[in-house]
Amino acid sequence: MRAQRIRVAELKTALLKLDSEAARDLLSVVDHLVRRSIWIVGGDGWAYDIGYGGLDHVLASGRNVNVLVLDTELYSNTGGQASKATPLGAVAKFAAAGKRVPRKDLALQAIAYGNVYVAQVAMGANPQQTLDAFREAEAYDGPSLILAYSQCIAHGIDMRFGMQQQDLAVACGYWPLLRFNPAMRTVGSNPFQLDSPRPTVPFKDYAYNEIRYSSLTKTLPDDAAALLVSAQAAVIDKYQQYEDFASRDGTRFLVPAEIDEKLPC
């Protein structure tokens, strides 16, 4: 792209020397010779919830467009209402007794298309993985989706320590770091890469740093305890699911001969 920008600059210089209507017409469109990087940026309320239909339409289009979701796990701009990204056990408006169902796995839904680049990142846990994801998304010729963990004042944390909380989210397994790059299939590699290690701390060490979780221990202590157990189990199940995807060698499924013979030509 840099080389193309240099060529376009040289072309502009040459056109400016020509005093003609044709040269002026070309100058008006010459910048389109440089490929544009298109990014759509939004929050989880839009991406997971009220705008999901539009997001899904964009991802299904196959166009070379990038989407960045700043995932605060609730409607940050409108008062802290629960969204489909709000995690199990967290307190939010419209979930005052703690969210009773797990958050939507938007990453897996996008991966199901098979031709969408998908990454889940947390800059406070692994800045290099975050940088790699953005570079790969930009280089991928097709739709891409990056889900970025974004701490929010509505979580009930000291925002000065937001990066440390991101690190804990990854360390406990709640926010696995992953990249799904369909282009890897062309070299016979598994397109799914799990970039974070197995959980090293309990979910409680992450969750109870935030008022959105810990406040329930005061209002509904029994429910809080039960939801914590469920949330911990969900974290392990989800990580094991991702680990299973990452363990595959990327080879193609071969149809057994007895089945292949029965398939229509």
User: Domains, the chain, ranges and CATH?
Assistant: 36-250 (3.40.50.970)
Residue in 241, 195, 237 with CA at minimum distance from that of residue 102: 237
The upper half-sphere exposure of residue 214, i.e. CA atoms within 13 Å in the direction of its Cβ, equals 12
Q: Are strands 178-180 and 117-121 parallel, antiparallel or unpaired?
A: antiparallel
pLDDT at residue number 190: 94
pLDDT at residue number 253: 44
How far apart CA 2 and CA 4 sit, in angstroms, is: 5
Chain centroid to Cα 240, Å, comes to 19
pLDDT at residue number 242: 96
DSSP state of 10: H
pLDDT at residue number 256: 53
pLDDT at residue number 255: 46
How far apart CA 153 and CA 80 sit, in angstroms, is: 9
pTM for the whole thing?
0.86
- Which residues of the chain, if any, have pLDDT below 50? 251-253, 255, 259-260, 262-265
